[in-house]
Amino acid sequence: MLKYFQKKYAMSEKGARDLFYAILWTILMQLSFMAPVILGFKFLEENIQTIFNPANTSKPSIAYYVVMSVVLFLVMLAVSYFQYDSAYTKIYEESAKRRISLAETLRKLPMAFFGKSDIADLSATIMEDATQIEMLFSHAVPQIYAAVTTIFIMGTMMFFYNWQLSLAVFWVVPVAVLVFLLSKKFQDEMHQDLYNVKREISDTIQEGLDAAQEIKSYNREGTFSKSLNQDLDDFEKKMIRGELLAGALINLSYVFLRLGLPSVILYGAYLLSTSAISVFTYLVFLVVTARIYNPIMDAMNNFALLLYLNIRIERMKEMDKMPRQDGKTKFSPKNYDIEFKNVDFSYQDGVQTLNRVSFIAKQNDVTALVGPSGGGKSTIAKLSARFWDIDRGVITLGGVDISKIDPETLLNYYSIVFQDVTLFNSSVMENIRLGKKDATDEEVMRAAQLAQCDDFIKKMPNGYDTLIGENGEKLSGGERQRISIARAILKDAPIILLDEATASLDAENESKIQSAFSVLVKNKTVLIIAHRMRTVLGADKIVVVKDGVIAETGKPMELKARPGLFSSMLKAQYQNQ
Ligand SMILES: Nc1ncnc2c1ncn2[C@@H]1O[C@H](COP(=O)(O)OP(=O)(O)OP(=O)(O)O)[C@@H](O)[C@H]1O
């Protein structure tokens, strides 16, 4: 049973055990709530017998019923407390743990996962899905199991008491359940459909927010909001249509359930007229029938909710199954050479991006990755810091296979200066301090000076305390990159991954960035995606990448002298200048 819960509802072992206890206590609670009714009937039976049969002088003991009532009341209180504790407190604890574990999973997922499922979707899974599932396990699941068990127990007792009247009570249940199940398939499809549309809409909104600048600059606001409105309209129509149809089917099954009471009234009256049952039995069945359908309806409602949430649980299982990037957190490389040995890599199955890539980027050397666009330069640079895990071959840092090292530990050894610099809406000081959390203000300022940031920062209204706006929108491209270089200088990691700016910078910015680079790369292992002649020719080693394979490697002057891809690229660039 516990294993079943764990697997079916993607729960931890403790969570499954807590759910089991929550169900058990809910059953006990429902049974304890029935006990006073039974006691009441017993009391009535004894009194009615005295009314109908005056010869029977045995008086019921009032004291007995008073004591029993008090005892039952205390039992009900105690059981309710345990039910509440197990169904709410414990289940909410599980849910909090589930959120933390999802967040932990996210941290350990390879970057590849984030390409496929975007952030809006992931945060929806963590917050929204986890909240819905929390509700489900604290309310719906214990109630479904408890209702089914309680009704089974009550039904059996009633059949033993009077099987004919019990048939009149229960014939409606299988019919109603059948209609309900018929709607299940339809509801499943509808929910999956709606859920997908909803995800698409949040994706569109997220995309719109991310690309707000582009949408504005290309005057595409009208088109964007038109397509969003269209999606929202579709969603609304689908939802109304789905709700109406599902609602109609569910109501039909409720109508069947409601037919139970008239059946008991009519059939009971008939049995009474033939003296097959006593007035008391008739009364008992009328009272019970009036009450028994509500828990059945609740169970069906909860079951519908469970169907809806199945899709969410499946998605959580999907995330749990993703391969995680783990590894040792203790790591001491003997040097900072990066070596690729026969590395194969693909972003998607069937499309090989890198094919048997082998080269060494030596410590204290600048290794330049050059080659045509789309050849795989950025991929190589990112793989060297384990942004993704490779398909075949090995990448080592100081002789240690990086796939065996925890990604966060590994990243401590890298400074990454790419074009897509992420800046935060806080002060310039804090943005640079990101390179080294505990750096003093003096250290930050010194790094900024070395990265040639000092002059433009001092011109800002509040100097280092100026807020630089969401993603640094108040800064120019060259200034943003210099901030990111300052971060890297502050971090002072032994390996530098650099993506040289492709956008044309003005002469002043260009020369400042060059001097900032030269400070940054001193005595480091430098892997640079190079676009400019000056950088390419100044490198210690060139690795030419084309269509995912290494076309040539060597010193710049050697390659220049030799006919090949590099020399023809050089010629082409000179001709363009
Ligand atoms: N996240 C990704 N998912 C799927 N495919 C990708 C991804 N990133 C890159 N690619 C593909 O991998 C191939 C190599 O891309 P990569 O960015 O490494 O080339 P590059 O040489 O750095 O190009 P450029 O000089 O234009 O930046 C390209 O075909 C690209 O479309």
Distance 374 CA to ligand 1 centre (A): 5
Report the pLDDT averaged over residues 496-513.
Answer: 71
For ligand 1, whether the C-beta of 377 sits within 6 Å is yes
For ligand 1, whether the C-beta of 469 sits within 6 Å is no
Distance 224 CA to ligand 1 centre (A): 27
Distance 393 CA to ligand 1 centre (A): 20
Residues listed for the chain: 577
For ligand 1, whether the C-beta of 374 sits within 6 Å is yes
User: Domain 338-576, what fold?
Assistant: Rossmann fold (3.40.50)
For ligand 1, whether the C-beta of 353 sits within 6 Å is yes
For ligand 1, whether the C-beta of 376 sits within 6 Å is yes
For ligand 1, whether the C-beta of 373 sits within 6 Å is yes
The per-residue pLDDT for 54 is: 60
Q: How distant, in Å, are the alpha carbons of 176, 247, 435 from that of 169?
A: 13, 24, 73
- Ranges of each domain in the chain: 2-321, 338-576
Distance 548 CA to ligand 1 centre (A): 10
Q: What is the mean pLDDT of the chain?
A: 82
Distance 499 CA to ligand 1 centre (A): 13
Q: Is the pLDDT of residue 112 over 80?
A: no
| Closest residue CA from atom 5 of ligand 1 | 347
DSSP run (H or E) holding 368: strand 366-370
What is the SS3 assignment for 477-489?
HHHHHHHHHHHHH
Give ipTM to 2 decimals.
0.96
- 529 bridge partner residues: 369, 499
- 546 bridge partner residues: 549
More confident residue, 107 or 346: 346
Residues 6+ apart with CB under 8 A from 405: 327, 328, 331, 386, 397
Q: Which two tokens stand for residue 507?
A: 């002469």
d(Cα 121, Cα 130) in Å, to the nearest integer? 13
d(Cα 490, Cα 484) in Å, to the nearest integer? 10
pLDDT digits (tens, 9 = 90+) for 445-493: 998 988 888 888 888 888 888 888 765 667 777 788 888 888 988 998 9
d(Cα 94, Cα 99) in Å, to the nearest integer? 9
| Residue position matching structure tokens 């059948």 | 178
Residue type for 113, please?
Answer: F
**For ligand 1, mutation pick of 114, 118, 379, 549 (most atoms within 8 Å of CB):** 379
For ligand 1, whether the C-beta of 478 sits within 6 Å is no
Report the pLDDT averaged over residues 422-440.
Answer: 85
Report the pLDDT averaged over residues 126-132.
Answer: 73
φ, ψ for residue 427, nearest 5 deg: -70, 160
Report the pLDDT averaged over residues 192-219.
Answer: 72
- Estimate the crossing angle of helix 279-321 against helix 221-258, to 10 degrees: 150
Tell me whether strands 354-361 and 495-499 are parallel, antiparallel or unpaired: unpaired
What pTM was computed for the model?
A: 0.62
The per-residue pLDDT for 384 is: 93
More confident residue, 123 or 480: 480
Q: Is the pLDDT of residue 348 over 90?
A: no
Banded pLDDT at 301 (limits 50, 70, 90): confident
Q: Is the pLDDT of residue 439 over 60?
A: yes
pLDDT digits (tens, 9 = 90+) for 78-94: 999 988 888 777 777 77
| Closest residue CA from atom 6 of ligand 1 | 347
Which atom of ligand 1 is least distant from the CA of 111?
A: 1
Q: Is the pLDDT of residue 393 over 90?
A: yes
3-state helix vs strand vs coil in the chain, percent to 5:
65, 10, 25
Q: Is the pLDDT of residue 229 over 90?
A: no
Q: Is 547 helix (H, G, I), strand (E, B) or coil?
A: coil
Long-range contacts of 563-570 (CB under 8 A, 24+ apart): 565/371, 566/370, 566/542, 569/370, 569/371, 569/544, 570/533, 570/536
Banded pLDDT at 22 (limits 50, 70, 90): confident
User: Domain 2-321, what fold?
Assistant: ABC transporter transmembrane region fold (1.20.1560)
Distance 40 CA to ligand 1 centre (A): 77
Report the pLDDT averaged over residues 63-87.
Answer: 89
Distance 323 CA to ligand 1 centre (A): 22
Q: Is the pLDDT of residue 271 over 60?
A: yes
Banded pLDDT at 215 (limits 50, 70, 90): low
For ligand 1, whether the C-beta of 379 sits within 6 Å is yes
The per-residue pLDDT for 262 is: 92
More confident residue, 348 or 503: 348
The per-residue pLDDT for 541 is: 94
CB atoms within 10 A of CB 156: 11
Q: Is the pLDDT of residue 343 over 80?
A: yes
| Closest residue CA from atom 1 of ligand 1 | 115
Distance 567 CA to ligand 1 centre (A): 23
pLDDT digits (tens, 9 = 90+) for 526-545: 999 988 777 788 889 999 99
Report the pLDDT averaged over residues 203-210.
Answer: 74
Report the pLDDT averaged over residues 129-154.
Answer: 81
For ligand 1, whether the C-beta of 381 sits within 6 Å is no
